[in-house]
Amino acid sequence: MENTQLSPAAFDLKTVPFLLEKLTEDSKPHWGKMTAQHVLEHLGNTLVIVSTKKEIPVITPEDKLPAYLQFLKSDKPFDRDIPNPFVGDTPPALRFENLDTAKTKLLAALEGFYKFFAENPEAKPVHPFFGRLNYEEWLQFQRKHFQHHFKQFGLVE
């Protein structure tokens, strides 16, 4: 059986509501082009793709997936300014009217993420970079991803 041990030092998603209180319209990123609201909308997108009915393609070559999964399960953080073809060179148009709405929508998406896996514990939704992931692997991805963007805005070290 494959080792699915995940990092004990993983970012705790339970802190998200408290950390969001520190994020304002004036918060500036330490790197990257996204505003605070862009980041929240982006994080929300990665939460809701687990329950999408649309089949998401895996863009990572199959022979590279084992290395990607090894990285996912490691303590290594995402690199700053990591290229993401789904985001592009310029941030997309904002979907929500303001940062407070984006915060509310993000928390609802986080709740929906947990609910999806509570109702579908054996599900293995596709992640476009990491392939089919189980709940623990998706949770690890979300921890790394949130930590990456919260570092970007100085909400965590």
Strands 126-127 and 131-132: antiparallel
Parent domain of 115: 14-152
Establish if 1 belongs to a structural domain. no
Q: Please give the tally of structural domains in the chain.
A: 1
Amino acid, res. 151: K
Which DSSP state fits 23?
A: -
Q: Per 3-state DSSP, what percentage of the chain is helix, strand, and coil (rounded to 5)?
A: 45, 5, 50
142: left (phi over 0), alpha (psi -120 to 50) or beta: alpha
Establish if 45 belongs to a structural domain. yes
Looking from the CA of 118 toward its CB, the CA atoms found within 13 Å total: 6
- The pLDDT value given to residue 63: 97
Reported as a single tens digit per residue, the pLDDT across 92-129 is 899 999 999 999 999 999 999 999 999 999 999 999 99
pLDDT surpassing 50 at residue 3: no
Across 38-63, average pLDDT:
94
Establish if 5 belongs to a structural domain. no
- The pLDDT value given to residue 10: 57
Q: CATH code at 23? A: 1.20.120
CB atoms within 10 A of CB 118: 9
Establish if 122 belongs to a structural domain. yes
Chain-wide mean pLDDT for the chain?
90
Tokens 């990491």 map to which residue?
130
Establish if 37 belongs to a structural domain. yes
Establish if 18 belongs to a structural domain. yes
Which DSSP state fits 150?
A: H
Reported as a single tens digit per residue, the pLDDT across 14-49 is 999 999 999 999 999 999 999 999 999 999 999 999
Amino acid, res. 148: H
Across 141-148, average pLDDT:
95
Establish if 58 belongs to a structural domain. yes
Establish if 42 belongs to a structural domain. yes
